[in-house]
Homo-oligomer: A and B are copies of this chain.
Amino acid sequence: MNKHTPQSEFVTPEVTTGPLPASRKVYVKSDRFEDVAAPVRYISVHETANEPDLPVYDPTGPYTEEGFVADVEKGLERKRTAWVKERGNVEEYDGREVKPEDNGGATGKYLARQFPTHHKPLRGTGSEPITQLEFARAGIITKEMEYIAIRENMGRKAALEEARKNIDEGESFGAELPEFVTAEFVRDEIARGRAVIPANINHPEAEPMIIGRNFLVKINANIGNSAVTSSVEEEVDKMVWATRWGADTVMDLSTGRNIHNTREWIIRNSPVPIGTVPIYQALEKVGGVAEDLTWEVYRDTLIEQCEQGVDYFTVHAGVRLPFIHLTADRVTGIVSRGGSIMAKWCLAHHKESFLYTKFEEICEIMRAYDVTFSLGDGLRPGSTADANDRAQFAELETLGELTKIAWKHGVQVMIEGPGHVAMHKIKANMDKQLKVCGEAPFYTLGPLTTDIAPGYDHITSGIGAAMIGWFGTAMLCYVTPKEHLGLPNRDDVKVGVITYKLAAHAADLAKGHPAARLRDDALSRARFEFRWEDQFNLGLDPETARDFHDETLPKEAHKTA
């Protein structure tokens, strides 16, 4: 924890590297573009099985390459900058100066030291395509789209004859899973707004990935320090740790001081898209007083974060003044942090939220960097009692309107969803979201299916997450065992990630994803043949599986085929 090292002198964050057990990373080359190669992890099994290595989707970045040495002070390679520049319509510029309030006024030993290298930001210019959505609409397959097509296929090539059968045996509730993912399919889904590629042009360290219901279900892990605990080192470590176990995106929800500098360290070292809730930082800039927020402060914060390379922003633009009174009779009122900040502002000024009134300006800013909207559900239910009420659905309908405006501006959009919802009310959320938001990807927190298990909300919500993922949600925001109770530590992050990976995978299986069951079947065969090592290695968490086994049967002899 290094509680006694001043933030101004913290040591280089240590991150976990090295291949996962029995795994090797292969970069599969594109036939279309010479400089595109997407990662696939291959898990090998015991030779007695006589089976090919199993390919699995790999969001872990270079950290799991054999022999990779992380240089956290330098950050990851910025491979994608060349792709952005060669497409044109962007300019490099000096960018905004970092201001003291960006770090909450921290000074001296309390100010976290800056990331050593400053990269000049890029921004889009003119009306020619900048965003993935604009390229897709123009019929252009970007390198990001090609990259995604390769990585989404995993073992599908090997199992192509089974693909149609698996799709037909699944129940996808109207999703249109392809037998094989082509770059053209990716382009088409992006053009239709049914999927997003969160890829800020200033986050070239990230590996392109896609969020949409006709692709693998993705998961997000939240990290972030607070005024009370944790440090830059811990958060960088948690980010890498989360991706090691399978987080597809990471949200940095830091509050308190040092938000700017913490984020810079995270982004420069992140192989996955980073999301934020800009209103959190804007609030810090006005001393935590919601009423003092202004459009100008918020706008400045957006630009700050666009230049840093944040890939998607949660914007609670659907919390409209006329909806706030709809929460009056709720058991748990407004529980979204962003939602309650904006509700407070609206009520104090008795004005419509500036996130709503300035929405087109927000779109223009985000377009210039290809930052994706994650339209926030500020009125999401904080208890099963409040699920699917008028406040929640009024906001969702507004998010539908805003989606169309963002699309008009060429900005990619996903929609955030609840929250706390008992099982019988989950599907209505998905159905309504698909209907009112034009099939923009749904990105849900849980939902938690009961309120009575604090300490186990990764599970109460894992149930809801698996179900809503099956119904069509494209990305599941994890919940850790510490939900409602405290900040997740490293172990909590891992448990949250694994829980959501299994929920996402259960959803893929039920939808009939053509390649999902390859891993289940390989593991089941290993299990049936008592190939213990293979059972561990094919699982989501080989370390825990092995430890649990060894508690009962520690001998090596119990583990081989």
Contacts and interface: CB of A to CB of B under 8 A. Distances in A.
A552 B453 CA distance: 18
A482 B521 contact: no
Contacts of A484: 527, 535
B520 A486 contact: no
B470 A424 contact: yes
A553 to B, nearest CB: 6
Contacts of A383: 520-521, 524, 527-528
A111 interface: no
Interface stretch (A30-38, A273-281, A538-546): A538-546
Nearest to A550: B486
A424 B460 contact: no
A122 interface: no
A332 interface: yes
Interface stretch (A90-98, A202-210, A397-405, A499-507): A499-507
Contacts of A455: 539, 541, 544-545, 547-548
- Best-buried of A425, A455, A460, A501 by chain B (most CB within 10 Å): A455
Contacts of A423: 466-467, 470, 506-507, 509-510
Interface in A412-461: 420, 422-425, 449-456, 458-460
Given A383-B520, A528-B332, A549-B486, A452 B422 contact: no
Give the secondary structure class of A's interface: helix
Contact of A540 (B425, B453, B466, B547): B453
Contacts of A425: 510
Given A424-B171, A459-B462, A463-B506, A454 B552 contact: no
Give the interface residue-count category, chain A.
35 or more
A486 B456 contact: no
A261 interface: no
Nearest to A521: B385
B485 A333 contact: no
Interface string A522-561: 0111011000000110111100110111011100000000
Nearest to A330: B528
A454 B539 contact: yes
Tell which of A335, A456, A547 has the most Cβ of chain B within 10 Å: A456
A67 to B, nearest CB: 27
Report how many copies the assembly holds.
2
Interface string A167-191: 0001100000000000000000000
A486 B553 contact: yes
Contact of A452 (B332, B462, B519): B519
B452 A523 contact: yes
Contacts of A451: 519-521, 523-524, 527
Contact of A502 (B460, B509, B519): B460
A15 interface: no
A423 B331 CA distance: 31
Contacts of A114: none
Interface string A324-348: 0000000111010000000000000
A384 interface: yes
A548 B463 contact: no
Contacts of A510: 422-425, 449
Given A487-B552, A535-B484, A456 B540 contact: yes
A139 to B, nearest CB: 36
A197 B499 CA distance: 35
Contacts of A536: 454
A44 interface: no
Nearest to A460: B502
Contacts of A548: 454-455, 481-482, 485-486
A221 interface: no
A425 B166 CA distance: 13
A552 B229 contact: yes
A276 to B, nearest CB: 22
Given A331-B525, A451-B520, 16 more contacts: A335-B528, A382-B527, A384-B509, A384-B517, A385-B517, A423-B467, A424-B470, A425-B510, A450-B502, A453-B501, A453-B541, A460-B502, A460-B506, A462-B463, A481-B548, A486-B548
Nearest 8 Cβ contacts at the A-B interface: A486-B552, A383-B524, A423-B510, A455-B544, A424-B510, A449-B506, A171-B424, A451-B520
Interface of A: 170-171, 228-229, 331-333, 335, 382-385, 420, 422-425, 449-456, 458-460, 462-463, 466-467, 470, 481-482, 484-487, 489, 498-499, 501-503, 505-507, 509-512, 517, 519-521, 523-525, 527-528, 535-536, 538-541, 544-545, 547-549, 551-553
